A = this chain, B = another copy of it.
Amino acid sequence: MTDPGRTAILRAARRAFALQPYKAVTLRGIAADANVSAALIVKHFGSKESLFEQVADFSEAADLLLAAPDEMLGRHAVLTLVNYRREHGLDLLVRVIFSAGSGDERALIREHFRDQVARAFAARLTGDDAELRAELITAQLLGLGAAILINKTGTTATADPETVADLYAPGIQALIH
């Protein structure tokens, strides 16, 4: 179901485009990091530009995370994030953190995150502080992805996803109204 070459390319591309200025990134460097040929990258993703666009695009992540009715959105988002990480070896959101602090093309990664993820959550909320609550929902999801990333053999990374959701989803769900 998951193509290991494609996953390795995406992982290397996310790292490269988040950590380096766009002009410093090369398909050859990504290919070396992913242990594939540059030709395979072109086959899967086309050009460097279209690979960057894929890295900077959170629309699929948002579609997956938000595919539930309001009353179960918190649990759905937690389970989706954890299960996607386990099935695909990739986090849906966390790459945006690595793009922090730079004023170059990487700002686009952060802008897309805000437009596609934070605003999509905000659009599901009503009442006071909807924008702040939406940001805090994405904060919780980013934190969950980060915790798995920094401790790949830790309890969050290895626990039953339903148990993680039992503990982590209520804090998210409390912000959804």
> How would residues 164 to 176 of chain A score, 1 for a CB under 8 Å from any chain B CB and 0 otherwise?
1001101110110
Query: Is residue A26 within 8 Å, beta carbon to beta carbon, of the partner chain?
Result: no
A16 within 8 Å of B by Cβ? no
A80 part of interface (Cβ distance < 8 Å): no
List the B side residues contacting A48 at CB < 8 Å: none
Question: What residues make up the interface of A, taking CB atoms closer than 8 Å to B?
Answer: 15, 19, 94, 96-101, 110, 113-114, 118, 129, 131-133, 135-136, 138-144, 146-147, 149-151, 154-156, 159, 163-164, 167-168, 170-172, 174-175
Note all chain B residues with C-beta closer than 8 A to A172. Answer: 171
Q: How far is the CA of A171 from the CA of B129 in the complex (A)?
A: 17
Residues of B within 8 A of A175 (CB): 167
CB atoms of A132 and B171 under 8 A apart: no
